[in-house]
Amino acid sequence: MATAPNLPFQAQDEITYMRPVSNCAGCGDTKVSWSVLEGMRRFNRAKELKGKNRYEVIYAADRGCGNLQGYHSYRIVDAIFCMGSGVIVGEGLKESCSEKQVVITASGDGGYNFNMSGFKFAAKNKKSGAITIVYNNYNIRMTGGQIPLEVDFDKEGAALGFEVIHLNPYHVDDNAELFKELISRYLNKDKIMVVADGVCVVDMAKDSKGVGLNLGRFVKSDECVDLKFQQEKERISQEEPEKLKDLPRFKCRLCGIGLRCHALLNNDPNLCFGCGACKQFPCPVGALSFEGPSFADSTKIPELLTMYRV
């Protein structure tokens, strides 16, 4: 069960940094899950809830890219079984969790149809609200990349009893505000389906390249606490190498761990997929930005081409 109280703004320790990040650098799924946890943090802060009075997210997931986000220090997934299980397991969890726990369920567009009975229970549940996320990568990646059954989420979600909200996964700050509001609505027993369109940065980056669109890269200014520290380490390694062993590996990894991105963890723009989540990540010293086209502008390649007149 998720227990760490102040995440996602704590870069916990070196073990967290060293643990392999399971998703691709610009994976939209990880950006949405950051927004979910950050939304809960903002909800508690806005209501000045502390200690035992705070609410917490319980996250029940299908298997799939969107949910390979681990039980570990990134602390996203609390329960994961198989495709088609996330939403119904979430309904079971609602029966046993405390009133301070908000159950958020997740599936992919591939697993959406397997979850149909779960959706029906969730939409008809008179005791609890529902927030169910569909990570829409237009693909069934877990079983080799087949095209899933076509789904009109707006029509089907509404017919099931949900309000359907689409979001751009890379608008991390806007999405955190959205989830803060949705948590209030969940407690009011509203039923919401959130469709995160365009989460597979690998497919979208390939498509962009194919039409000659060069995506941008993140930029860290000299104010970045970690860059400053790395420079200081360089100096120490030249001038006082005996002190190196006493130094930590990093000073700040908030953006890299929060967005679970190797490019940020390694301070290496060459590893950046150009997803654009860095545009909105609230770096505490304002050191993080992004230059160039990105999926934060649009997850639709034709729209990006028009915007950047390629």
Using CB under 6 A as the binding rule, whether residue 176 contacts ligand SF4 is answered as no
10 vs 113 by CB, closer to ligand SF4: 10
Near ligand SF4 by CB under 6 A: residue from 151, 225, 236, 305: 225
User: What is the CA angle 93-46-173, rounded to 5?
Assistant: 80
Is 33 within 8 Å of 2 (Cβ atoms)? no
We find the least distance from the C-beta atom of residue 97 to ligand SF4, in angstroms, to be 31
Total residues at interface with ligand SF4 (CB under 6 A): 27
We find the least distance from the C-beta atom of residue 63 to ligand SF4, in angstroms, to be 24
Near ligand SF4 by CB under 6 A: residue from 16, 23, 26, 105: 26
Task: Take residue 11 and report the two structure tokens written for it.
Answer: 């870069």
We find the least distance from the C-beta atom of residue 296 to ligand SF4, in angstroms, to be 8
We find the least distance from the C-beta atom of residue 230 to ligand SF4, in angstroms, to be 10
Residue with tokens 């060293």: 18
Query: Edge-to-edge strands of the sheet including 191-197?
Result: 79-80, 56-61, 101-108, 130-136, 191-197, 163-167
We find the least distance from the C-beta atom of residue 96 to ligand SF4, in angstroms, to be 36
Task: Take residue 147 and report the two structure tokens written for it.
Answer: 């095209």
We find the least distance from the C-beta atom of residue 233 to ligand SF4, in angstroms, to be 14
103 by DSSP, 3-state: which? strand
Of 98, 99, 105, residue with least CA distance to 79: 105
167 vs 252 by CB, closer to ligand SF4: 252
We find the least distance from the C-beta atom of residue 143 to ligand SF4, in angstroms, to be 26
User: What is the CA angle 212-218-220, rounded to 5?
Assistant: 155
User: What is the CA angle 167-168-171, rounded to 5?
Assistant: 110
Residue with tokens 């729209």: 303
Q: Which amino acid is at 5?
A: P
Of 24, 76, 8, 26, residue with least CA distance to 296: 26
Give the x-and-dash track for 260-299 against ligand SF4 (CB under 6 A): -x-xx-------xxxxxxx----x-x-xx-x---------
Give the x-and-dash track for 242-261 against ligand SF4 (CB under 6 A): ----------xxxx---x-x
Rounded to whole angstroms, the Cα distance separating 261 from 21 reads: 7
We find the least distance from the C-beta atom of residue 50 to ligand SF4, in angstroms, to be 24
153 vs 170 by CB, closer to ligand SF4: 170
Backbone angles phi, psi at 293, to 5 degrees: -65, 150
Q: Which of residues 29-58 bind ligand SF4 (CB under 6 A)?
A: none
Of 11, 1, 6, residue with least CA distance to 249: 11
Q: Which of residues 66-125 bind ligand SF4 (CB under 6 A)?
A: none
Contact residues for ligand SF4 (CB under 6 A)? 25-26, 218, 220, 224-226, 252-255, 259, 261, 263-264, 272-278, 283, 285, 287-288, 290
